[in-house]
Amino acid sequence: MPGLRSSSATDRNLAFLLAEVNRLARREFDRRVRHLDLTRAQWLFLFHLGRKPGATQSELAELLQMERISVSRQAGRLEKAGWIARRNHAADGRAYHLSLTPRAERIFAKLETLAGELRADYLRGLPPPRRTALLDDLTRIKANLLRLQANGHHSLS
């Protein structure tokens, strides 16, 4: 296939391969959403909020792996532009629950469709049982990493 290199030790390294697949998928998704006239930061924000309606800015900051102040500023800009609504958090006067506006819900639906199409394209050629096994294996790896993080595990080897 054009653009594919021959297999090497680096190509077979799991962490490298996962990072490369992630980078290539992000680049292709960016290309597919370019016509929506949203920045990466904006569509990521809307995408995550669409998947977690009512999230607080702190929750989104964790999902987006961003500082809370950056998410707060982005939320302010998106609210001013009519993409999201903020309402006060009942238990914490300093926090807000965020939601998509109807305009943003339409964009979220487009993002979901485009993400589904991309997923179908990059999984092409993998039979359903292999897809299921791949997702199961990656989910297990994620759980292992989360367990290690929670336990503060340090390996000296």
One digit per residue, pLDDT tens: the chain, 157 residues?
555 555 566 557 999 999 999 999 999 999 999 998 888 889 899 999 999 999 998 899 999 999 999 999 999 999 999 999 988 766 666 678 899 999 999 999 999 999 999 999 999 999 999 999 999 999 999 999 999 988 886 654 4
State if pTM tops 0.85.
no
Burial of 28 (0-12, 13-18, 19+ CB in 10 A): middle
Residues in CB range of 3: below 8 A, 6 or more apart: none
What domains are defined for the chain?
14-151 (1.10.10.10)
